[in-house]
Structure 1
Amino acid sequence: MNGPQLLQQHAGKLATTVGACYPGSHAIFRGQDLHRDLQSLDWVDLYVYGITGRRLSAAQIELLHAIWVNTSYPDARLWNNRVAALAGTTRSSANLGVVAGLALSEAQVYGGLAGMRAISFLQMAVRRVAAGEDFEQLVLAEARARRIYGYGRPINSTDERIPVVLGIARRLGLDGGEHLRIAFDTEKVLLPHYSQLRMNYAALHAALIADMGLSAREYQLLRIPTFMAGMPPCQVEAAGKPPGAIFPTPVSGVAYAGMAPRPWPEAAAEK
Structure 2
Amino acid sequence: MSGPEILKQNVGTLRTKMGAFWAGSRAVFRGYDLHADLRHMDWVELYLFGVTGKRFTPEQMKLLHGILVYTSYPDARLWNNRVAAMAGTARSTPGLAISAGMAVSEASIYGGYPGVRAIDFFLRAQQHVSSGGNLADFVKQEGKIFGYGRPTPETTDERLPWLERLAHELGLDQGPHFRIAKEVERMLTARHARLRMNYAAMTSSLCADMGFTKADFQVFRVPLFVAGMPPCYLEATEKPEGTVFPVPCDGVKYEGPPVRQWRSE
Query: With structure 2 as the length reference, what TM-score do the two structures score?
Result: 0.96
Which residue matches 2:129? 129
CA apart distance, 1:192: 1.6
Identity of aligned residues (%): 51
1:149 is aligned, of 125, 146, 149, to 146
Give the Cα–Cα distance (whole angstroms) in 1 for the partners of residues 260 and 185 of structure 2. 58
Which residue matches 1:190? 188
Q: Which amino acid aligns with 2:234?
A: V
- After superposition, the C-alpha distances for 1:147-188 in whole angstroms (9 at most, x for unaligned) are 211001022110000000110111111111000000011111
SS of 1:81's equivalent in the other structure is helix
Give the Cα–Cα distance (whole angstroms) in 2 for the partners of residues 128 and 257 of structure 1. 51
Give the Cα–Cα distance (whole angstroms) in 2 for the partners of residues 20 and 58 of structure 1. 28
Give the Cα–Cα distance (whole angstroms) in 2 for the partners of residues 31 and 134 of structure 1. 42
Q: Which runs of 5+ in 1 are unaligned?
A: none
4+ runs deviating over 4 angstroms: none
CA contact (8 A) 1:140 1:190 kept: no
- After superposition, the C-alpha distances for 1:203-233 in whole angstroms (9 at most, x for unaligned) are 0000110000010001111111100000000
> Does residue 72 of the first structure (1) align with residue 69 of the second (2)?
no
Q: Which amino acid aligns with 1:81?
A: N
SS of 1:27's equivalent in the other structure is strand
Give me the CA root mean square deviation.
1.3
Which residue matches 2:219? 221
Give the Cα–Cα distance (whole angstroms) in 2 for the partners of residues 141 and 263 of structure 1. 55
Which residue matches 2:5? 5
Which residue matches 1:252? 250
Q: Name the count of aligned residue pairs.
A: 264
Query: With structure 1 as the length reference, what TM-score do the two structures score?
Result: 0.94
Deviates more, 1:249-258 or 1:70-79: 249-258
CA contact (8 A) 1:83 1:100 kept: yes
Q: Which amino acid aligns with 1:233?
A: P
CA contact (8 A) 2:45 2:61 kept: yes
Which residue matches 2:204? 206
Q: Which runs of 5+ in 2 are unaligned?
A: none
CA contact (8 A) 1:119 1:203 kept: yes
Which residue matches 2:90? 90
Q: Which amino acid aligns with 2:189?
A: L
